[in-house]
Structure 1
């Protein structure tokens, strides 16, 4: 169990490092127009916008599934 947690944590950490290095490379070695196309106009907050978008999408999906299950099982119990 602890080995699995260790390897998942290590993979997550390496993924974060790889993404940050890739973004730094893109910022340093691409023209401004291409950089704005890839990262958007607000290039300093790409990670925050991405996490906020993922969180919002997760919550919307969760609420839709919850209402679907409530609808399905509230009628079945009657």
Structure 2
């Protein structure tokens, strides 16, 4: 169990480092027009916007599944 947790944490840390280095490389070596196309006009908050999008997508899928289950089980009770 601890081995898996260790490797999972190591993978997460490596992923965070790779993403931050890639974003720094893109910011340093890409013309402004291309950088705005890739990262959007608000280049300082790309991570926050991405996380907000992921959370909203997750919540939308969760609500849809919850409604589906409620319809299924509410129909069974009637």
- Relative to the length of structure 1, the TM-score reads 0.96
Per-residue CA distance 1:8-45 (angstroms, 9 max, x = gap):
11111111110010000000001000100110000000
Q: Which runs of 5+ in 1 are unaligned?
A: none
* CA RMSD of superposed structures (Å): 0.7
Q: How many residues align?
A: 78
SS in 1 for 2:41: coil
Tell me, yes or no, if structure 1 residue 37 matches structure 2 residue 33.
no
What pairs up with 1:1-78 in 2 under 5 angstroms? 1-78=1-78
Query: 2 CA distance for matches of 1:55 and 1:9?
Result: 21
How far the C-alpha of 1:77 sits from its partner, in A, is 2.3
SS in 2 for 1:41: coil
User: Structure 1 segments of 4 or more deviating over 4 A?
Assistant: none
Query: 1 CA distance for matches of 2:73 and 2:51?
Result: 32
